[in-house]
Amino acid sequence: MVVWSMEPPHAHIYGGRRQTVRAYTGCRLPAAGCGTGLPQWTRRENLRFSGATSQRNRARADIRRRGTVSRVEMASSQCCDNPPALNPAGGEGKVVDSFGGLKAYLAGSEESKAAVILVSDVFGFESPNLRKIADKVALSGYYVVVPDFLHGDPYVPDNAERPLPVWRKLHDPKKRFEEAKPVIAALKEKGVSSVGAAGYCWGGVVVVELAKAPEIQAGVVLHPGPITVDDIKEVKCPISILGAEIDHISPPEVIKQFEQVLSANSGSVAYSVKIFPGVAHGWSVRYSPDDAAAVKSAEEALGDMIDWFNKYLK
């Protein structure tokens, strides 16, 4: 597993299948072992390797099967692999008709001073796994809001009249940034003092826009959607980017470019960039609960997210 971080070399790396890998942790602020605070890189061996072998094999087989299919087509397909069976009544929290002007799923104590906004992928806020994630984040002491940024109109793969490119034109994630501001305002009216946001694929674009403003105190982006290097250059709050090894939308080489931009930002923005081996785009929220290896990788990503928020929101 490869990890880049603007934190000292003791940053956590979680485990799974045993295999020797190398982890890299970058340090740009003066800290133990960092001397003057100039860029230094340390290498260490870690004998634990996370990843779902079966998922890796399925993804690679899919790539081989596609043959000469264009990268754009592969990316579009991967964006929509493993669509969830939506459940409007799912989760242990509650759904309200309006939170900051949007229908939303809420979980956790309203007395909490720290809140997390979860932004869905193209399948929307009724995804069962997304609501499970919201419930688990709430158990860590956060008030969690999952707004319906898609306004009851999630992407439907079987709708031949509205393929993904057409659907995207109707749901530009960068325009949802403005809709997120009243949600944050509603949280502050409840006494929340720190707000974080995490987004999956499509939702990651919304989170980056919030981090550029900055409207949030910390952000997490999981298997990023169409985010550019220029977007990352403008990030102004601590950000964690969790990418997949097998990803046609934001492949590892693009994730590495994000890391390079963040590391060059004079140490003014804390960051962590991590590539999960053996998993494909969407692994952290569209996993099958019957696939133990996939669940393990998704739980690792969730653990990383919660750790990031614990560090910068509490």
CATH number at residue 300: 3.40.50.1820
* Helix, strand and coil in the chain, % to nearest 5: 35, 25, 40
Residue pair 246/51 in contact by the 8 Å Cβ criterion = no
Share the mean pLDDT of the chain: 81
Residue 62: C-alpha distances to residues 20, 55, 82, 87, 245 (Å): 27, 10, 13, 28, 14
pLDDT band at residue 288, thresholds of 50, 70 and 90?
Answer: very high
* C-alpha–C-alpha distance, residues 94 and 80, integer Å: 26
Name the residue type at position 77: S
Q: Provide the domain count of the chain.
A: 1
For 247-263, letters b (16+ CB in 10 Å) and e give bbbbbeebbeebbebbb
* C-alpha–C-alpha distance, residues 299 and 204, integer Å: 18
Mean pLDDT of 189-209: 97
pLDDT band at residue 194, thresholds of 50, 70 and 90?
Answer: very high
pLDDT band at residue 188, thresholds of 50, 70 and 90?
Answer: very high
pLDDT band at residue 43, thresholds of 50, 70 and 90?
Answer: very low
CA 82 distance to own-chain centroid: 17
User: Angle CA(141)–CA(142)–CA(145) in degrees, nearest 5?
Assistant: 155
The token pair that represents 280 in the structure block: 């494909």
With a cut of 80, say whether residue 59 has pLDDT above it.
no
- Catalytic site positions: 201, 247, 281
Look at the block and give the residue holding tokens 């709050």.
Answer: 237
* C-alpha–C-alpha distance, residues 37 and 266, integer Å: 10
Q: What is the pLDDT of residues 223-261, one digit of tens each?
A: 999 999 999 999 999 999 999 999 999 999 999 999 999
Q: Is 223 exposed, middle or buried (0-12, 13-18, 19+ CB in 10 A)?
A: buried
Residue pair 74/66 in contact by the 8 Å Cβ criterion = yes
Name the residue type at position 212: K
DSSP state of 49: B
41 phi and psi angles, rounded to 5 deg: -125, 135
Look at the block and give the residue holding tokens 């045993």.
Answer: 18
- How much is the pLDDT for 144? 98
- How much is the pLDDT for 131? 98
Mean pLDDT of 26-33: 30
Structural domain boundaries, residue 21 = 2-313
* C-alpha–C-alpha distance, residues 170 and 5, integer Å: 36
Helices (H) and strands (E) in the chain, counts: 9, 11
- pTM, whole model, 2 decimals? 0.79
